[in-house]
Amino acid sequence: MPKTANIEDLRQRARRRIPRFLFDFVEGGADDEFTVRANREAFGRHAFRARSLVDVSTRDLSTTLLGQRLELPLILGPVGLAGLLAPGGERLAARAAVKKGALFTLSTMSVCTIEEVAAAVPAPGWFQLYIWKDRGITRSLVERAKAAGYTALCVTVDVPDMGNRERDVRNGFTVPPRLTVANAFDLLLHLGWVLRMTRSPRATFGNFEDSKALTRRDAVSVAAYTSRQFDASITWADLQWLRELWPGPLVLKGISCAEDARRAVEHGVQALVVSNHGGRQLDGLPAALDVLPEIVDAVGGRAEVILDGGVRRGSDVVKAIALGARACMIGRPYLYGLAADGQAGVELALELFRKEIDRTLTLLGCPRLDQLDASYLRGPGEAPRLSLPAGRTSTG
Ligand SMILES: Cc1cc2nc3c(=O)[nH]c(=O)nc-3n(C[C@H](O)[C@H](O)[C@H](O)COP(=O)(O)O)c2cc1C
Ligand SMILES: CC(C)CC(=O)C(=O)O
């Protein structure tokens, strides 16, 4: 098999290794997937301004995030159902993050439980919260995360209801996944995945008893399950309630305009994730990278800003940090690794990023990540657009 040179190669490996309905769940976005594509294309509108004759013989890729030192400026974003890609998927990804000096965020909607992931690593990372209509359940999630030692609560604010994921509708994707006439051939082609999953203790949302009880006969779509549970009535006022439950750092994920960024800071949020949920929620939102400068400006250093969406290259990370992000969050890139080769695949994804960030800093003439600023970029209008071959989001 040819060597895996970049994240796109890892994506191709993942595509071959898991059933189509699962790959589509990972890959897909909402409606026409305009925002999914926009996230990626935005990076091509920024070109570098490199400096020459700078001593770049040693480089420093480290950063600090909410006081924690990271060897790599990368956060594995919260991802529901990662445990369907490989048995124990969330545990494997959390271990890979620790090994490579990145940070892991566990989703409320994980297959492994809050406690299982915490027990798999020396110190757990962040816990991502979806607010349930039943506040007793929400409270219990926060208390479990606190007891298990998660270091920050990352509240996702862009899912009052699920985005319209048409690939999942078409594929009839359910939790737990079901054998149907339509997907029988797909499953037959991926017997390795079927066998691997028979070793998995569960294929549903592990943190919830009602979900754990779901059988293949009463399987539900992700949209139906979350619509029943997620609270679409939450407002800024509810953050105060969360503050009382969670004394540690609070992160808001899914901020996409300056007004909300300012409000988040006024509510004492320590970090915010500029994100459109990887284009999976409101289709038509601009690329996360395009709204980053407006948000960095609105925050004015009063909170840490993280860029999430479309990051596929080390050079993307360098561009986001030059525009004021402290770190980048990645979703699909590490899921490709997990699907392709379990923990080793996630480590490979992170190693590809590490090498690319390192090489970019070297060639850019900026040996330290913390020295990056907008002077290392030529913005849209200042430089010709860098474009990939038609229809490609990366090479490979
Ligand atoms: C399969 C999948 C499941 C996701 N589940 C969650 C989730 O449970 N909670 C959440 O806040 N974001 C979730 N996200 C969004 C990611 O955290 C992240 O915002 C997005 O993937 C970033 O875009 P990228 O995939 O281009 O890196 C999910 C994304 C994917 C691809
Ligand atoms: C399982 C889902 C609720 C996770 C999610 O937020 C997503 O798919 O984007």
Over residues 171-225, the pLDDT tens digits come to 999 999 998 999 999 999 999 999 999 888 899 999 999 999 999 889 999 999 9
Q: What is the pLDDT of residue 379?
A: 77
Residues 6+ apart with CB under 8 A from 376: 48, 49, 50, 51, 318, 322, 364, 366
Q: How far apart are CA 5 and CA 11, in angstroms?
A: 11
Percentage of the chain exceeding pLDDT 70: 97
Indicate the top mutation candidate among 157, 222, 225, 253 to test ligand 2's pocket, ranked by most ligand atoms within 8 A of CB: 222
Is 78 labeled as ligand-binding? yes
Percentage of the chain exceeding pLDDT 90: 92
Q: How far apart are CA 349 and CA 342, in angstroms?
A: 11
At residue 261 the predicted structure's pLDDT band, cuts being 50, 70 and 90, is very high
Q: Is the pLDDT of residue 394 over 80?
A: no
Q: What is the pLDDT of residue 166?
A: 98
Site residues for ligand 2, CB cut-off 6 Å = 80-81, 109, 159, 222, 226, 277, 280
Q: What is the pLDDT of residue 383?
A: 65
Q: What is the pLDDT of residue 387?
A: 76
DSSP class of residue 274?
A: E
Q: What is the pLDDT of residue 380?
A: 74
At residue 393 the predicted structure's pLDDT band, cuts being 50, 70 and 90, is low
Burial 269-294 (b: 16+ CB within 10 A, else e): bbbbbbbbbbbbbbbebbbbbbbbeb
314-322 and 332-364 helices, crossing angle to 10°? 70
- pLDDT tens-digit series, residues 125-146: 999 999 999 999 999 999 999 9
Is 311 labeled as ligand-binding? yes
Alpha carbon nearest to ligand 1 atom 5, residue: 79
From the CA of 164, the nearest ligand is: 2
> Which CATH architecture is the domain 7-378 placed in?
Alpha-Beta Barrel (3.20)
Contact yes or no for 308/362 (Cβ under 8 A): no
- pLDDT tens-digit series, residues 55-111: 999 999 999 999 999 999 999 999 999 999 999 999 999 999 999 999 999 999 999
Q: How far apart are CA 354 and CA 350, in angstroms?
A: 6
Alpha carbon nearest to ligand 2 atom 7, residue: 80
Catalytic annotation, residues: 277
Q: What is the pLDDT of residue 388?
A: 73
Indicate the top mutation candidate among 36, 129, 162, 221 to test ligand 2's pocket, ranked by most ligand atoms within 8 A of CB: 162
More confident residue, 99 or 396: 99
Q: What is the pLDDT of residue 384?
A: 63
**Domains of the chain, residue spans:** 7-378
Ligand 1 centre to CA of 258 (Å) is 22
Instruction: Please give the number of the atom of ligand 2 that sits closest to the Cα of 281.
Output: 9
Residues 6+ apart with CB under 8 A from 115: 144, 148
What does the block give as tokens for 133? 């209509």
Q: Which residues pair with 175 in a beta bridge?
A: 220
Q: What is the pLDDT of residue 65?
A: 98
Is 107 labeled as ligand-binding? yes
Q: Could you tell me whether strands 63-65 and 68-70 are parallel, antiparallel, or unpaired per DSSP bridges?
A: antiparallel
Q: What is the pLDDT of residue 154?
A: 98
Instruction: Give the mean pLDDT of the chain.
Output: 95
Instruction: Please give the number of the atom of ligand 1 that sits closest to the Cα of 40.
Output: 26
Is 342 labeled as ligand-binding? no
